[in-house]
Amino acid sequence: MKKKVAFYTLGCKLNFSETSTIARRFEGEGFDRVDFSENADIYVINTCSVTENADKRFKTIVKQAQKSNPEAFVAAVGCYAQLKPEELAAVDGVDLVLGATEKFKITDYLNDLTKNDKGEVHSCEINEADFYVGSYAIGDRTRAFLKVQDGCDYKCTYCTIPLARGISRSDSLENVLKNAAEIASKDIKEIVLTGVNIGDYGKGEFGNKKHEHTFFELVQALDKVNGIHRLRISSIEPNLLKNETIDFVTQSNSFVPHFHIPLQSGSDKILKLMRRRYLTNLYVDRVARIKEVMPHACIGVDVIVGFPGETDEDFIETYNFLNALDISYLHVFTYSERDNTVAATMDEVVPKNVRSKRSKMLRGLSAKKRRAFYESQLGSIRTVLFEGENKEGYIHGFTENYVKVKTPWNPALVNQLHQVELGSIDEDGLVRFSFVTQQEIA
């Protein structure tokens, strides 16, 4: 009987790409992959440490695995496993904890699947995480996450990622293009580029500190890969998003007019406390440049509320800054203290109830911004890639500029690209449309 393995991924697109790579290693060694809700011999949980909630969810997921099979072997990998291996190993039911470099060799640690009284830890010092492992995730038939870069050399005062993932390093351009071609050969229509700091692509490409290639050169090369209908840049630091990249997207064969650009605060005072590498004037310039050459572009923004020292005035400055910007939606994060970060030692801690109130205000602003962006697109002709899930009798899809649409479920539309005219916004805040052509776009 083949052993069965199941996976659960917390956190970012990068984690999903790495889970897929780890899963392919299991499958290559004769394991059958099953859904996490099913009975399995091994459960692998890929952890995240960006927020407090991700930490807390880990115990719940372990209990879920034990409920499916009390005798199953449970392994924890990922960022939280690197940062606090002993803490995870002490969780009831956890048998193995692997750090940043060990996770890619997980099957080497599975000679004996007997349950342990306490989790066994294999975790390197983070300065040993200096080599690159390429990854890509195929979560469904329509979209793939392609990892191009790992680690970060930035020293933002709130962030544990450099401690969890190590120095900035990149996949070779040759390997990125090979992986992209592999994905395209599987009839997957869209690739999302992922990494910790993808704008830093090229650093550490062959194990050295200098840049062998730039992010712009990566973009140019990927645009020439046959069979890719869409390429999407997941998230890029504003100081690393150059005019040459923005201008290239306007005439690209594959790159779509959608940018996700972390801001974190609209107050220069707070940005300095965070040790971000830009101020608000640069961010305004990046948004203006995108909208100048691509008025229909979608721009998403990350923002953190409740950072130490953020006064009511600082928060209102952030709110007004975002309200005035021509952006499309927000990802709002409530600041949570993380061990071994500078911010955790700062004074002027913002009470949690105030953090929660500020988060709610910005989520409301995000809904307003998304609605306004969708309304600006009504009447336009866009291309939709339809997804594979039947959600309460509807099929959903996204336009190239990230407008989410819906229409009654039709399995024939799955993984197809169609031109549509955006019509009206429904009660769920999604856009209804009419087909311009019933024929799939090749």
Sequential DSSP letters for 290-324: HHHH-TT-EEEEEEEES-TT--HHHHHHHHHHHHH
Enclosing H/E stretch for 276: none
Q: What's the confidence (pLDDT) of residue 194?
A: 94
Q: What's the confidence (pLDDT) of residue 130?
A: 64
Q: What confidence tens digit (pLDDT) does each residue in 39-80 have?
A: 999 999 999 876 667 667 899 999 999 999 999 999 999 998
- Give the chain's residues under pLDDT 50: none
Q: What confidence tens digit (pLDDT) does each residue in 363-384 have?
A: 999 999 999 999 999 999 999 9
Q: Which option is the CATH number for 263-278+286-377: 3.40.50.920, 3.30.750.200, 3.40.50.300, 3.20.20.70?
A: 3.30.750.200
Question: From residue 278, how far is each of 154, 201, 281, 286 by CA, in Å?
Answer: 12, 19, 8, 11
Q: What's the confidence (pLDDT) of residue 13?
A: 84
| CATH (residue range 132-256) | 3.30.750.210
Q: What's the confidence (pLDDT) of residue 114?
A: 76
Q: What's the confidence (pLDDT) of residue 128?
A: 65
Going from N- to C-terminal start, the domains of the chain cover: 4-124, 132-256, 263-278+286-377, 381-435
Nearest to 78 by CA among 61, 95, 97: 97
The top-level CATH class assigned to 4-124 is: alpha beta
Nearest to 116 by CA among 71, 79, 76, 84: 71
Fold match, 4-124 / 132-256: no
- Residue 236 to residue 247: CA distance in whole angstroms: 15
Largest CA distance in the chain: 64
